[in-house]
Structure 1
Amino acid sequence: MRRTAMVGNAVLGAGFALVLLVMAAQYAAQGRVWALDAATGAVVCALALGRERHRGAAAALGLAVAGAAALIAREAGLPGEPGAAAVLGLLVLGGSAVRTLPWRPAAALGAAGLALMTAGLLAAPAPATSFRIGIEVWALALAAGLGLRLLDHRRRAAAESVRRDERLALARELHDLVAHHITGVVVQTQAARIVARKRPEQLDETLAGIETAGADALSAMRRVVGLLRAADDTPGTAPTTPGTAELAALVRRFDDHGPAVQLHLPDQNATPWPPEVATTVHRIVQESLTNVARHAAHARTAQVTVAHPPGALTVTVTDDAPPAHTRHLRPVGFGLLGMRERVEALGGTFTAGPAPTGGWTVHAELPVPTGATR
């Protein structure tokens, strides 16, 4: 994201420089004074390029500079300000401020700019073209910023909806899992009371089973911390926990809809995966292969690798689409957002993006408690 902003600012700076040079050359060719226009444009454009530090202050200062230049031009009988470069700078400053500032500062800044330009228009003798242009430019900047602000709001609302749905689904799964563990604790506790009366020598073994079930329940409960669950949502039947057989079946289904998929699974004798981790792995593979089928038609193969190092479970999905295809046609959609939300809710890490040699890579690492069982 930061790199994209830097590239955008570089392109914007080049555009500002080109407009400044063209306008200065045009004024010089006409025998008109170009220094004020160039200086005003350079200052406003510089403020626009440095707006990231404080958008409100940059926009207010840009307005002040443009207004002062307009007054100077009127008193000196020079060509009206703001010039073309300053107009572009004000568009960027105003739109950026209205898009990102909180509502009250954004509204105050927009009103202040319109008031400043209107006051200059009323105080200046006719025709006061520069102030009329300023009002039009500032109104256009406010409209553009407001439109982008509404688009950002809709995008955030859609992303939050994805997060909420993902958290709810995972919370339901973990709820059923913890209910299973608690039921086991209750049953074993009842058995312990009988054992204590009839076979006291077996009590330690029974208590050890209760301790294990309680530890498993606590581990699952820690994973559910921070997840949201609607108050009126009632859990249904416990979902079937997908395992290696379900992953293999999933991969076979995708063979007919995209590139050939190769599945690499850990040793079958490894510690079984906790249900919430197994469900997450299945979801990551399913979403990743769906993205490969949709957006990597030029890929020849895809690789799904699941590894089970001590204390963790990793899943990696890659494809070999050409670099150009990867760069231009891979959207960062809400499916990736849902996967990241699910993985991070379980205390894991998630990355997704183009590989250096082409193709796309999705990688997730999920913590697995030592001795965890299904």
Structure 2
Amino acid sequence: MERFRRYAGDVALAVAVAAMLAVQAVRIADSWGGTYWVVDVVAGAAVCGTVLLRRRGPASTVLGLAVAAATVGAAAYAGLPREPSPAMALSLAVLAAAAVLRRPVRPALGTAGAAVAIIAASWLTGLASGSTAVPAIGALLLGVALAVALPLRLLAARRRATADAVRREERLELARELHDVVAHHVTGIVVTAQAAHIAARRDPALVDDALTDIETAGAEALTAIRRVVGLLRDAADAPSARTEDLRELVTRFAERGPTVRLTLPDGEPDAATSATVYRIVQEALTNVARHAPRATAVTVTVTRDRRGLTVEVTDDAAPARTRRHPGGYGLVGMRERVEALGGTLSAGPRTGAGWSVVATLPAQDPA
């Protein structure tokens, strides 16, 4: 359909220019006599031909502008009928509009500027002889074409920018989801495997329990990844992260790590807030398992007031050099999630010992 419309426009332009050239030839023959009309028809047809070939490359555009400029100069020098004629001006207008719509900025400005210069030169040469009607028609056609093409180009650029922003946000969301899911479960597998090595030296019988835990964590990781894939395929399949999911997360962590004390407010927040709370707690617990292996207790506190929710995750691990300057994608992902809801995030060492992650999430207006 797009190809049909494109070539239908070319056919319409060719028919319109042919009709205009025929009318111009008759009028010139009546008023000027002889074969003065030949130059007008040939030059007008040549410029129209370069317009029809514009998709083959910039050479046709340059050729069309050159023919038009040469014709205007020759007409003024030799005393021929004023150029560009309405037919040629229509072709120039289409050529300039097409460049503004499709070409990069510099070629588009160059083409439009050259077309304006050609019309202006015709106008200036016509002032000397008092004949400005033909340049006025050309200026009108070119002005209308550019007035239509420029807003369309700006609209297309805005749409591209919007699409790029949406794609970037989708990539960031995918990166956050994959990091949150994979890092959490894989960290659990690594910690369990490390514990299995220690247990094997003490009591080989404990290895079976560790292998069972690893198998369970691996199965959970596969399930979580499938949920992420489902989210990518259909947003309606997005996994929920309600209070029970958060309790289950904390329970799984406590089975393989330090004890966790969980405090939650009554009621359920909205879906976006609850999902963000879940990811904050998940990432914070993952960081405890990864960077604070000597932690003995973790506290997860979620409180609500009229301003919104506050999420705080703390541990009692001794200060470690690797935790003084937190980095990586986990903290970045947490901060992006929180800031997307208009909240703030802070993470750093506590006074004395331990680490603290605090996120404030403002109350969300009901949809």
TM-score of the two chains, using structure 2 as the length reference: 0.51
Tell me, yes or no, if the aligned pair for 1:90 and 1:138 is still in contact at 8 Å.
yes
Take 1:143 and 1:91, find their aligned partners in 2: how far apart are those partners? Answer: 11
Q: 1:59 aligns with which of 51, 57, 61?
A: 61
Call closer, same or farther: CA 1:114–1:16 in 2, change over 3 Å.
closer
In structure 1, C-alpha distance between the alignment counterparts of 2:208 and 2:130, rounded to whole Å: 98
Unaligned runs of 5+ in 2: 31-35, 239-367
CA contact (8 A) 1:58 1:93 kept: no
1:214–1:40 CA distance, 2 compared to 1 (3 A): farther
Give the distance between the partners of 1:283 and 1:179, measured in 2 at CA. 22
> Equivalent residue for 2:17?
20
Distance in 1, matches of 2:226 and 2:145, equals 54
Query: How is 1:325-340 mapped onto 2 (pairs within 5 angstroms)?
Result: none
Alignment of 1:60-209 (within 5 A): 60-75=62-77, 77-124=79-126, 125-129=128-132, 130-200=134-204
**Is the 8 Å Cα contact of residues 189 and 217 (structure 2) preserved in structure 1?**
yes
Compared CA separation, residues 17 and 119, structure 1 to 2 (3 A): closer
Which residue does the alignment assign to 1:279?
A: 231
The correspondence for 1:40, drawn from 43, 47, 53, is 43
What is the match of residue 337 of structure 1?
Answer: none
Q: Deviations over 1:231-282 (max 9, x none)?
A: xxxxxxxxx97xxxxxxxxxxxxxxxxxxxxxxxxxxxxxxx7222122233
Tell me how far 1:94 sits from its aligned partner: 0.5
85 and 13 in structure 1: CA distance in 2 versus 1, 3 angstrom threshold: farther
1:112: Cα distance to partner?
Answer: 3.5
Quickly say closer, same or farther: Cα 1:136–1:61, change in 2 above 3 A: farther
Aligned AA (1:182): V
Distance 2:84 2:217 in 1: 74
Higher alpha-carbon Rg: 2
Shift of 1:128: 4.1
Q: Quick check: which one's helix share is greater?
A: 2
| SS of corresponding position for 1:52 | helix
C-alpha contact (below 8 Å) 1:70/1:131 kept by paired residues: no
CA distance in 2, matches of 1:159, 1:173: 21
Cα drift, residue 76 of structure 1? 5.0
User: Within 2, Cα distance between the matches of 1:151 and 1:158?
Assistant: 10
**Shift in Å at residue 44 of structure 1?**
1.7
Write the distance in 1 (CA, Å) between the matches of 2:17 and 2:217.
73
Report how far residue 211 of structure 1 moved: 9.7
Cα deviation 1:290-341 (Å, max 9, x = unaligned): xxxxxxxxxxxxxxxxxxxxxxxxxxxxxxxxxxxxxxxxxxxxxxxxxxxx
Deviations 1:150-198 (A, max 9, x none): 1111111221222123223322321221132223223312421332213
Count of matched residue positions in the alignment of Structure 1 and Structure 2? 230
Aligned-partner residue type, residue 39 of structure 1: V
Does the 8 Å contact 1:121/1:132 carry over to 2?
A: yes
1:9 aligns with 2:11: no
Q: State yes or no: 1:49 paired with 2:52.
A: yes
CA spacing shift, 1:11–1:37, aligned 2, 3 Å: farther
Alignment of 1:229-244 (within 5 A): none
The 3 A distance-change label for structure 1 pair 24 and 46 is: closer
Q: Look up the match of 2:288.
A: none
The answer for unaligned runs of 5 or more in structure 1 is 221-239, 242-272, 287-374
TM-score, normalised relative to structure 1: 0.51
Structure with the greater relative contact order (CA < 8 A, sep ≥ 6): 1 or 2? 1
Q: Is the 8 A contact 2:193 2:214 kept in 1?
A: yes
Q: 2:75·2:82 contact (CA, 8 Å) conserved in 1? A: yes
**SS of residue in 2 equivalent to 1:81:** coil
The answer to whether the 8 Å contact 1:9/1:49 transfers is no
Aligned partners of 1:115 and 1:27: how far apart in 2?
23
Deviates more, 1:84-93 or 1:201-210: 201-210
Q: Is the CA contact 2:100–2:109 (under 8 Å) kept in the aligned structure 1?
A: yes
* Counterpart contact for 1:177–1:275, Cα < 8 Å: no
> Residue 274 of structure 1: SS of its match in structure 2?
helix
Return the offset for 1:207: 7.1
The answer (yes or no) to whether the contact 1:24–1:34 under 8 Å persists in 2 is: no
Give the C-alpha shift of residue 111 in structure 1. Answer: 3.2
